[in-house]
Amino acid sequence: MRETEKLNPLSKGIDALSIGEFLKLMHAESRVAFEAVGAALNEIEEVVRAGVAAIRAGGRIYCVGAGTSGRLGAIDAAEVGPTFGSDAFEGIIAGGPEAMLNAIEGAEDNREDGRSQAGRINSRDIVIGISASGETPFVIAFLEEAKKNGAPAWLISSNRVKYDFVDGVIVLPTGPELIAGSTRLNAATAQKLCLNLISTAVMVQLGGTYDGYMVGVSPANKKLVDRAKRTITACTGAGEEEAGRYLEASGMDVKLAIVMLSRKVSKQEAERLLAENEGRLRGLLP
């Protein structure tokens, strides 16, 4: 029996606990997810390195899952765009977009759909499968097909599994859930932490931040425009009005605006400087 399907000894009598007692137990048990991710940092680093290489080569990172795992992958991938101004991540969930809001029974067992959806993957891409059981047919079939197409393939699993066709497995051994088999709990928490680490580390390596500033942000609404101006001001020392002018002159590209302002160069020259520096601000600012 998979570890994630076993009964957690701490769950005995949970239905008789008070609300407060249950919340304290569940909160304390969530530490398991944090510790599981911490033990897998070496493997996570390998995935980050592969992801950086894939994007620099013109490829993309695909996060593939079913049910809760698929939703988490899709959410994390979707957030990369507005945060870092990149479309390099894409989430794929068994059952398609409708499965984000509604459970689609049987979708996770559809190996043929997994193989079919992996047809677009090529050797420049990298695929990250997400499966608490480590055995979800849709995910495994997708990884197999992607690997045939020459793409590096990794699996995030809460159970210890081994497949010859993947480049590696990130094992997050969260063990039995407080509600047996409900992997939307600690297993999902660990998956979300792991995906956050991967996507954020990849984009930081690609120049998506300067110090802690979100220099790759896509200023698509008033809140983000204000954030972009504050970021330009913080990185250059310019006033808000000047930062706004340069933001508009750059085509609403924060990194370009920062280089244009700090170096007093044209947009074209700023683009050249950033391209030579692999999209990173570090080393370009006084």
**pLDDT over 70, % of the chain:** 100
Handedness of CA 146, 151, 156, 162 (dihedral sign): positive
Domains in the chain (CATH in brackets) are: 3-205 (3.40.50.10490), 208-286 (1.10.8.1080)
Collect all residues with Cβ–Cβ distance below 8 Å to 105 and sequence separation of at least 6: none
Residue 105: pLDDT above 90?
no
For residue 190, which of 207, 212, 173 has the smallest C-alpha distance? 173
79 is a catalytic site residue: yes
**Burial group, residue 211, by CB count within 10 angstroms (0-12, 13-18, 19+):** exposed
Q: How confident is the model at residue 1 (pLDDT cuts 50, 70, 90)?
A: confident
Collect all residues with Cβ–Cβ distance below 8 Å to 186 and sequence separation of at least 6: 29, 30, 32, 33, 36, 174, 175, 177, 178
Alpha-carbon gap, residue 130 to 140, rounded angstroms:
9
The predicted pLDDT at position 73 comes to: 97
pLDDT tens digits, 168-213: 999 999 998 988 988 999 999 999 999 999 999 999 999 999 999 9
DSSP 66: S
pLDDT tens digits, 217-226: 989 899 999 9
Question: Catalytic residue among 29, 108, 145, 177, which?
Answer: 108
Question: Catalytic residue among 5, 43, 79, 242, which?
Answer: 79
The predicted model gives 160-174 an average pLDDT of 95
Alpha-carbon gap, residue 151 to 145, rounded angstroms:
9
269 is a catalytic site residue: no
Q: How confident is the model at residue 161 (pLDDT cuts 50, 70, 90)?
A: very high
Alpha-carbon gap, residue 135 to 121, rounded angstroms:
21
The predicted model gives 152-166 an average pLDDT of 95
